[in-house]
Amino acid sequence: MTTWDLTALFKNEKELEETALELRTKCQNFKNSYEKNFLNLKTDEFLKAFDIYESLLMRISKVSTYAFLVFAKDMSKGAFYAKFEDICTKAQENLLFFEIMFNEFDDAKQQNIIKASKTHGYYLSNVAKAKAHQLSVKEEQILLRTANTGSDGFARLFDETMSAMKFKFKGERLGEEEILSKLHDKDRNVRKLAAKSLSDTLAKNQHLFGYIYNMIKTSLKTSCELRNFKLPEEPRHLENQTSKKSVDALIKVTEANFDLVSKFYDKKRKILGLKKLYDYDRYAPLEGESEYKFQKCKNIVLKAFRDFSPKFGAIAQRAFDEGWIDVYPTPNKRGGAFSHSGSPDAHPYVLLNHTDGRRDLFTLAHELGHAIHQNLSYGVGFLNAETPLTTAETASVFCEMLVFDYVKNTLKGKEKISLLAGKIEDIFATLYRQINFTTFERRIHAYEGEISLETINQIWQQESAKMFGKSVVLNDYYKIWWSYIPHFIHTPFYCYAYSYAQLLVLAIFGLFKSGKCENFVQIYTEFLSLGGSRSPKELVAKFGFDIEDAKFWQIGINEVKKLVDEFEGLK
C-alpha cells in the first residue's frame, strides 16, 4: 500500500463526526463531575479521575489526527480541518482545569500523589514544574479558544500557501518537494535553474512570509510575557526537559567544529572538478549515485531493520502492509515528511513525498524510526508516550544510521564514495544546519518590535555563512531561503533538537558498532519503549552517557570527524 488507510482511526467521516460530538459532551460531563470538588479529592480519587482524563485526551487526539491527516493529504480541505479543530478545542477546554488545579494542591499533597502513581509519577512531576508558567483556568481557556485564529491560524496559512505554491521549471509547474529534489540533480544547469525557480517564487511571497513570521514572533513574545518566561526559547527547553546551559554547550561545541564542513566541501569541489562550489552545488550527486525507487528503498529498510532487531523489522513490515504510509507527491499534498503518532488503539501515520532520490531512502528510514518509537511507546500510556523533542528524534536518526551502515557495506568504489558524501551531507543538515537555524531564531526573536524583511534576510545570510566559511559561495537569493522552513512557524526553537539527537545517536551508534555493549539491542528497545516516562538524562544514562557533561557532545563530533576523514582519504 502506498496511501493511508484511515479506517484504523475511524471507518468514515460519519463515525468521526458522531464521535467528536459525543466526546465534547463527555468532556463537559467530566468537568461537571470533578471541577467544583477538585481540591478535596483524595489521592485514590485523583488517580481514578486522572485515568479518565487521559482517556478523554486520547480520544480528542484521535479525532484531531484524522482531521489533520485528511488536511495534510489535501490542503484544499481547510474548512474540514477547521471544523474538527474547533470541536476538539471546545472539548479540550473542559479539561483545562485538571492540570491547572493539580498545581493548586500544596506541595505535600502533590508529592503524595506523584509517589502513589505507579505509571504517571514522572508526568505529574513535570506538570508541577510548569506551575510558575501556568495561568488561571479562564485565561487558559481564552488562549486555547483563540489559538486557531492566532499563531495556529498563521501556521495554517503558511502551510496552505506553501502547498498551493507552484514553481516554474522548463515549462512545468512543480510543487515544493519536486523543485527541492532538483537541487540534487546531477546536471548543474538543472540545479541552478531549480535554485532560481525556488528563489523567484519565494520572493513573490516574501511580504506574506515576513508578515506571518512577525506574527509568530509577536505571539511567542506575548505568550512568554504572560507565562513569566524571560527568554522566547525557555518554553521549548521546559518542554524538551533540558536547559539553556545544555543547549549553549551543544551550540558551542558544534560551532567550534565548523571546519569539518569546509573540509568536506573543499574535497567535494575537487571531486566535481569545479573552481567554485555554489549553494546549488551542495547536494550535487557524485558519480555512482543510483536511483532509489520506493520498492528498492522498502527492501533495503526492511533488511537493515531486521538485521538489527526482528521487532523493528516486524513493525516496519506492518507499516508497509497496513496503510501507515502515504508515499508520493500529489496535488495539494503537504510538503516534507512526518510520522504522526496517531492513537495507541490505532497506529502511527507516515507522510512522505518520494521522488526516487537517495535522500528518499533515508527519509523513509527516518520517519519509520519515528513510527517504531511511537508504536513501542504506546505501552506506557497516551500521556507518557509523548517524548520531548530531544529524544523524539533519536530513533529516527538512529534508523538512518542503520540503513547507511547496511548500504555502505554493500557498495564499493564510486558508489561508496557517493553514499558516504550523501550521508555526511545529511549529518551536516541535521547537525550544523539546525544549529544555524537555532542561532538565526535567537537573533530574530531577540529583535525588538516588528522585524523587516531586509533584516531577516541579512541575519539568515550571516548565520548560514558561518557554517560554510569560504567553501561554498552563497548567492544573493539564498538570503530568502529561511521563508520555506516550517519549523520557524510551527514550533519555534524546535531545530536544536535535531542537532541534539544527531550527536546523541552518533555516540550511541558508535557504542553499538564497538560491540562493547553486549545487550545493546535490549537496552535500546527499552529506551524507546519508555517513551517520555523518564527524563532524557535518565534514559541516556542507560548507555553510560551523561548529557550534562560538555564532553558528551564532543563524542558525537568525533564520529563526524571520522566520516569526514574517511571521505577525504578516498580516491
pLDDT category, 1, cuts 50, 70, 90?
Answer: confident
Q: Which three cell numbers stand for residue 138?
A: 479562564
Asked if pLDDT for residue 570 goes beyond 80, the answer is: no
Percent of the chain with pLDDT over 70: 100
Give me the pLDDT at residue 145, please.
Answer: 85
pLDDT category, 19, cuts 50, 70, 90?
Answer: very high
| 345 DSSP assignment | T
Please state which CATH number belongs to domain 13-134.
Answer: 1.20.140.70
Give me the pLDDT at residue 413, please.
Answer: 83
CA–CA gap between residue 553 and residue 504 (Å, rounded):
7
CA–CA gap between residue 405 and residue 416 (Å, rounded):
11
Q: What does pTM read for this prediction?
A: 0.82
Would you state the CATH architecture of domain 148-288+424-494? Orthogonal Bundle (1.10)
CA–CA gap between residue 272 and residue 288 (Å, rounded):
12
Mean pLDDT of 531-559: 87
Q: For 313-364, write each residue's pLDDT tens digit.
A: 999 999 999 999 999 999 999 988 999 998 999 999 999 999 998 889 999 9
Nearest to 525 by CA among 369, 419, 347: 369
Q: For 361-383, write each residue's pLDDT tens digit.
A: 999 999 999 999 999 999 999 99
Contact indicator for 279, 474 with CB cutoff of 8 Å: yes
CA distances from 220 to 223, 228, 234, 235, 441 (A): 5, 12, 11, 9, 12
Mean pLDDT of 102-120: 95
Lowest mean pLDDT among 110-114, 463-467, 537-541: 537-541
Would you identify the CATH topology of the domain 294-413?
Collagenase (Catalytic Domain) (3.40.390)
Asked if pLDDT for residue 173 goes beyond 90, the answer is: yes
Give me the pLDDT at residue 357, please.
Answer: 87
Asked if pLDDT for residue 550 goes beyond 90, the answer is: no
Q: Which three cell numbers stand for residue 233?
A: 526559547
Mean pLDDT of 89-115: 95
Q: For 239-267, write each residue's pLDDT tens digit.
A: 888 889 889 988 999 999 999 999 999 99
Q: Which three cell numbers stand for residue 264?
A: 568536506
> Please, which residues have CB within 8 angstroms of residue 550's CB and are 6 or more apart in sequence?
249, 253
Mean pLDDT of 286-312: 93
Mean pLDDT of 77-90: 94
CA–CA gap between residue 511 and residue 482 (Å, rounded):
36
Is the Cα dihedral 434, 436, 438, 444 positive or negative? Answer: negative
Give me the pLDDT at residue 177, please.
Answer: 86
Residues of the chain with CATH 1.10.1370.20: 148-288+424-494
Percent of the chain with pLDDT over 90: 79
CA–CA gap between residue 565 and residue 483 (Å, rounded):
34
Torsion of CA 516, 519, 524, 530, to 10 degrees: -140
Contact indicator for 523, 474 with CB cutoff of 8 Å: no
- Tell me which H or E stretch contains 168: strand 167-169
Give me the pLDDT at residue 571, please.
Answer: 65
Give me the pLDDT at residue 441, please.
Answer: 98
| CA neighbours closer than 13 Å in the CB half-sphere of residue 448 | 0
Could you identify the residue written with the cell 489521592?
Answer: 43
Nearest to 430 by CA among 481, 463, 394: 394
Residues of the chain with CATH 1.20.140.70: 13-134
Mean pLDDT of 493-520: 90
CA distances from 182 to 282, 334, 423, 433 (A): 12, 18, 18, 20
pLDDT category, 412, cuts 50, 70, 90?
Answer: confident
Asked if pLDDT for residue 497 goes beyond 70, the answer is: yes
Residues of the chain with CATH 3.40.390: 294-413
> Please, which residues have CB within 8 angstroms of residue 12's CB and are 6 or more apart in sequence?
none
Contact indicator for 508, 440 with CB cutoff of 8 Å: no
Contact indicator for 559, 512 with CB cutoff of 8 Å: no
Asked if pLDDT for residue 297 goes beyond 90, the answer is: yes
Q: For 225-237, write each residue's pLDDT tens digit.
A: 999 999 999 999 9
